Amino acid sequence: MSTESQVLRPPLTAAGSQPIHLSTSPLQVFLALIWDTVQEARARWLFWGLFGLSTLLILFFLFILKIDVVQGAISFMGLPAGAGRTVFSIEKFVRSAYMFVAIFLYVWGTFLAIFASAGLIPSVLEPGRIGLLLSKPVSRPMLLLGRYAGTLLVVALNNTYLIASIYLIIGWKTDIWYHSFLYAIPLATFNFAVILTVVVLIGVLSESAALSLMVAVALMFISSLLAQRQIVVNLLNSEWSRQLWQALYWIIPKTWELGKVMRDLILREDPAYWIAPLWTSAAFGVAVFLGAVARFQRKDY
Amino acid sequence: MSSRCAFKGENSESMTSDYAIETDGLQKIYRTRFTGRAFTAVAGLTLRVPIGSKFGLLGANGAGKTTFVKMLLSAVRPTAGRASLFGRDAQEEESRRPVGYLPENHRFPTYFTGAGMLDFYGALSGMSAADRKRRIVELLELVGLETWGDVRIKKYSKGMLQRLGLAQALMHKPRLLVLDEPTDGVDPAGRRHIRDILNGLTGAGVTIFLNSHLLSEVETFCDYVAILRQGHLALEGKMSSLLTKQGVVITVRDVNEQAQRLIAGMASTTRVVEDAVEFTVPTPLEANRSIDVLRAAGATIYSVIPTTSSLEDIFIEITGSSRNAGARGEIPGAEETVAAAAMSGVHQ
Ligand SMILES: Nc1ncnc2c1ncn2[C@@H]1O[C@H](COP(=O)(O)OP(=O)(O)O)[C@@H](O)[C@H]1O
Ligand SMILES: [Mg+2]
């Protein structure tokens, strides 16, 4: 980071006389923008809303859900049957339980995150607010990036809190620890990071939180629909429509596939295909974010 | 543009201009999105704001003042022309570092406390945490909000918000302060307070650029003034010469480039009226000299009239309201006059 400083003179006689050094460090600006986003998320109750709902879910797992069922299953299946086979099926049972919880958290977390974040992007573009930000020695891409990173930070923290807590609770209750459950944290956060670029783009284009929300949710559904390739490709009767479906499938971020990767990781099945969903989704995210920056650069406020 | 260091010996490498603001044919044409209809908000403005001056940009609502300032600060992209701040191209981020800005119709995020807001914008300007901490205390005191620092700004009154906005603009000790309608919606006591704060800045070489539709505000505070009408520069000059009751107004036609430069050198105020240029010189002696050189440059002298007009007369004439009303004598005060001018003005 550059920390080249310049001294601005002369000082104002009206208030204080010590000269002020102004650093040109982009890192300071970036951190300030992130902090501002977190502050706004807190003030709009988004922060506490996310964490509150997560806490509710955690409490549900802690008290209400009878995970002792698992223990019961272990004792039920464990006692009479032969050792080898039973242990295998119990493990499979617990893994499946984990997998369902992980998928549920993935969907739950992503939806809540989209709802929470959709307002954070357009709000900074409101007239009366953006004008002053732009007058600072800060580039427009940096403004957008700071907002993006701040929003992502809030969601990443929430995902970690939610998933790690439930991992601990289930582990504590069953004494079975599946570390691969924790893959849900980076996967859910990554999927959200990609979807958030769409929220940014629509936010810049329309300055409407509601529209950003609609498009982001629609995209997740479309993505899941497109992922049903095996079924659909047989149903489509023309070559070009199949091609189109395939093309769309590769372009659109792969919320569904990423969920499947998570499932396979938990079920200890090697997800051989996980690289492609990851990089194509990332490429989509980068492209959309660059598009948002390009549009933002040319806008008048 | 000559190169001289404005502040003795200090920081001379970054000072390349005598002007805090310099624009060259700065123009903004807005286009409506669907019909593509063009609307010229600012029509090729060429303006120089000397370092250390208090420059007032006057004009009715919709004249293009805000658009002009936004182009300087990169919120609006110019359609054509150039702008520079302290000799640095206004498109560079760094050109904005020495600028403090109080926007019109600002809406500071309400989750900030007063101190929190100053801290955030100070950080964006590049101030260190220690400087910010010290400066927040100084500035809250300066604007009379010392007990309000920890209160969320949604509880602030309009006048307090405006003062806080001013503190924000002053946070990093800017060399140029750009204020867009700083007393808009503020009660008279609050206005006075703001004016006192601004007066306290004088002597430090801070350049103040003030947008206003209130003649009284500019008249009492500024030493330079320009009047904008429908995006065009209608008049520009030193306040002292605009306020003098004596002078000679010379109207010239067939003004070529050379004559234009000569006029710029001699005039205390200049106005462009259709195909003619109207300018003022303070004394008859200077009027004679001007006439000689302009004729030599090929311009046609159209009229020479001794004048007694004050800034108010000029402003009213330019914004064109009270002449139609025909009741200049009954107008109670400059502010109301200007408000009337604004309402019957370009827009609506
Ligand atoms: N974003 C915009 N799109 C279209 N027209 C605009 C926009 N912003 C301002 N205008 C028009 O430009 C003109 C000048 O506006 P403005 O610069 O705000 O004037 P002032 O500050 O002098 O009141 C007005 O007629 C206004 O309607
Ligand atoms: Mg304005």
DSSP calls for A157-195? HHHHHHHHHHHHHHHHHH----GGGGGHHHHHHHHHHHH
**What pLDDT is attached to residue A90?**
67
Query: Which amino acid makes up residue B169?
Result: A
To the nearest whole Å, the CA of B172 is away from the closest chain A CA by 7
Q: Can you tell me whether residue B272 is helix, strand or coil?
A: strand
Q: CA-to-CA distance for B154 and B147, rounded, in angstroms?
A: 15
Chain A residues in contact with B70 by the CB 8 A cut-off are 131, 300-301
Of the ranges A45-59, B152-166, B192-206, the best mean pLDDT one: B152-166
- Judged by a CB distance cut-off of 8 A, whether residue A17 touches chain B is no
Any ligand 1 atom below 6 A from CB of B59: yes
Distances (CA, A) of B148 to B129, B165, B197: 20, 14, 18
Q: How confident is the model at residue B219, as a pLDDT?
A: 83
Q: How far is CA A259 from CA A112, A227, A252, B68, in A?
A: 16, 11, 15, 51
Say if CB B213 and CB B64 are below 8 A apart.
no
Where b means 16+ CB within 10 Å and e means fewer, A139-153 reads bbebbbbbbbbbbbb
Predicted confidence (pLDDT) at residue A166 exceeds the cutoff of 60: yes
* Nearest CA owner, ligand 1 atom 9: B67
Strand pairing category for B19-31 and B38-50: antiparallel
Considering only CB atoms, which chain B residues are within 8 Å of A36?
109, 120
Crossing angle of helices B311-319 and B334-343, rounded to 10°: 20
Whether residue A122 is contained in a domain is answered as: yes
pLDDT given for residue B15 in this prediction = 52
Tens of pLDDT along A86-124? 555 667 777 787 788 888 888 888 888 898 888 899 999
In a domain, A6, yes or no: no
Q: Do B106 and A15 touch (CB under 8 A)?
A: no
> pLDDT tens for residues A242-298?
888 888 888 888 888 888 888 888 777 776 677 888 888 999 999 999 999 999 999
Residue pair B333/B266 in contact by the 8 Å Cβ criterion: no
List domains and CATH numbers for chain B: 246-308 (3.30.70.980)
Q: Is the pTM of this model over 0.90?
A: no
Q: Which domain holds residue A215?
A: 24-298
Please say whether the beta carbons of A177 and A164 come within 8 A. no
Distance B234 CA to ligand 2 centre (A): 17
Asked if residue A17 is part of any domain, the answer here is no
How high is the ipTM of this complex?
0.83
**CA separation for the pair A266, A99 (Å, rounded):** 6
- Partner B contacted by A294 (CB < 8 A): no
Look up residue B253 and give its two tokens: 């036609």
**Can you give the pLDDT at residue A118?**
87
How far are the Cα atoms of A186, A218, A227 from residue A262, in angstroms, in the given order? Answer: 10, 22, 15
Amino acid making up residue B333: G
- Specify the 3-state DSSP secondary structure of B304: strand
Chain B hits for A42, CB-CB cut-off 8 Å, are: 111
Measured in whole angstroms, the distance separating CA A88 from the mean position of its chain's CA atoms is: 34
What is the C-alpha separation between A154 and B126, in angstroms, rounded?
A: 25
Structure tokens at A220: 């997740």
Residue B332: what pLDDT? 34
For chain B, strand residue ranges (E) read: 19-31, 38-50, 54-58, 80-85, 88-89, 99-102, 176-180, 207-212, 224-229, 232-238, 247-253, 269-273, 276-281, 300-307
Contact B322, B239 (CB under 8 A): no
A135-139, A151-155, B206-210, B278-282, range with the lowest pLDDT: B278-282
Quick check: is A156 in a domain?
A: yes
Q: How confident is the model at residue B347 (pLDDT cuts 50, 70, 90)?
A: very low
pLDDT given at position B131: 93
Distance CA(A283)–CA(B147), nearest Å, equals 51
Tell me the C-alpha distance between B7 and B18, whole Å.
10
Average pLDDT over residues B68-97: 95
Distance in angstroms (rounded) separating the CA atoms of residues B172 and B88: 19
Ligand 1 centroid to residue B328 C-alpha, Å: 29
- pLDDT, mean over chain B: 82
Are the C-beta atoms of A133 and A124 separated by less than 8 Å?
A: yes
- State the distance between the two ends of chain A, measured CA to CA, in whole angstroms: 30
Q: Is A137 on the interface with B (CB under 8 A)?
A: yes
Closest Cα in chain B, distance from residue A237 (Å): 39
Domain assignment present for A236: yes
How many other CB atoms sit within 10 Å of the CB of residue B36?
Answer: 7
Atom number of ligand 1 nearest to Cα A300: 1
Quote the ligand 2 centre to B63 CA distance (angstroms): 8
Q: How many CB pairs under 8 A join A and B?
A: 152
Q: How confident is the model at residue B6 (pLDDT cuts 50, 70, 90)?
A: very low
| Ligand 1 within 6 A of CB of B39 | yes
For residue A7, being part of any structural domain is answered with no
pLDDT value of residue A21: 86
Highest mean predicted confidence (pLDDT) among A176-190, B121-135, B185-199: B121-135
**B21 touches B53 (CB < 8 A):** no
Q: Is B25 left (phi over 0), alpha (psi -120 to 50) or beta?
A: left
State whether the beta carbon of B67 lies less than 6 angstroms from ligand 1: yes
For residue A12, being part of any structural domain is answered with no
The helix or strand, by DSSP H or E, that contains position A289, with its residue range, turns out to be helix A275-297
In a domain, A14, yes or no: no
Residue B106 beta carbon below 6 angstroms from any ligand 1 atom: no
Q: Number of structural domains, chain A? A: 1
Cα–chain-centroid distance for residue B321? 22
Closest CA to B338 of B314, B307, B304: B314
